[in-house]
Amino acid sequence: MPELPEVESARSVIERAGLGRVIADVDDSDAYVCRPHRRGEIRDALLGRRLEAAHRRGKSMWCDVSEDGPTLGIHLGMSGKIVIASPDGGEIDGGDYWEGRRLPGDFRWARFTLTFADGGRLMLVDPRRLGRVRLDPPVELLGPDATTITAPQFRAVVAGRSAPVKARLMEQHRVAGIGNLLADEILWQARVNPGRPVDEITPRETTRLFQATHEAVDAAIAGGGVHTLPIVPHRHAGGRCPRDGAGMVQGKVGGRTTWWCPKDQG
């Protein structure tokens, strides 16, 4: 399930292997993945141009296009991967988890493809078809990125009315990049119950949450994904808190499946 670290990995793949190459063809025939564009609209906008730079804010990714072309937004969804195939058949993918892949060169779930003039390809491979490709995505609606959010910006996130703190952390227009697994890790590190209303969070807890946000995101990027974080392997029936051994508790917070330690998260 791609979250900020996995999207950063995909962005890095594009930066390393997809920039500066002339786009000779575009397969934008999947009208659902490429909505709201009509078939051929993205192709017409990109042919003959190059990807100039790859950007990310939170879980959203987009590329600058040469010759004042539109930006190309790529959202991985729940199961999407960025896969770049070289002309000789070599592959680079955007992370370590690729659902539906059988063998190298298995591109049956490619939903969108850029073919470069040298014969290489950049693909959104997405078994569940939950990713999205669009021109000029509205990235200005996103909040500050979770990797760079400042203490004053974070205090504004954890403020206001009685929304559960986990739900507030996951509001992308407030802070971009915190998904379900990252939120559970942050709250566990900070020893804060995910269902606590934000208007009950103390200044000291806010500081702990801010520090835990940066630490969890940095660790997940360095480790290769959110699955490497300490609490994630214990989010299951029978799982135990790796800090104190208490049995993990599961519930719904903000409509999302949530796990926490009842001993030190209340």
Amino acid at 69: G
pTM of the predicted model, to two decimals? 0.88
Dihedral angle sign, alpha carbons of residues 238, 242, 245, 251:
negative
Q: Over its length of 266 residues, how does the chain's per-residue pLDDT go in tens digits?
A: 578 988 998 999 999 999 999 999 999 999 999 999 999 999 999 999 999 999 999 999 999 999 999 999 999 988 888 999 888 777 776 655 445 455 666 678 899 999 999 999 999 999 889 999 999 999 999 999 999 999 999 999 998 888 999 999 999 999 999 999 999 999 999 999 999 999 999 999 999 999 999 999 999 999 888 989 999 999 999 999 999 999 999 999 999 999 999 999 98
Task: Tell me which of 3.20.190.10, 2.60.40.2310, 1.20.58.340, 3.20.10.10 is the CATH number of domain 4-140.
Answer: 3.20.190.10
User: What is the pLDDT of the chain when averaged over all its residues?
Assistant: 92
Give the C-alpha separation, 5 to 225, whole Å.
5
The two three-digit tokens of residue 224, written as one number: 């290769």
Give the C-alpha separation, 209 to 202, whole Å.
10
Give the C-alpha separation, 3 to 129, whole Å.
16
- Is residue 53 within 8 A of residue 19, CB to CB? The reply is yes
Task: Please compute, for residue 72, the number of CA atoms within 13 A of its CA located in the half-sphere on the CB side.
Answer: 30
Quote the pLDDT of residue 92: 78
Could you report the per-residue pLDDT of 235-265, keeping only the tens digit for each?
999 999 999 999 999 999 999 999 999 999 9
Domain ranges of the chain: 4-140, 143-260
**What's domain 143-260's architecture?**
Orthogonal Bundle (1.10)
CA 35 to chain centre: 20
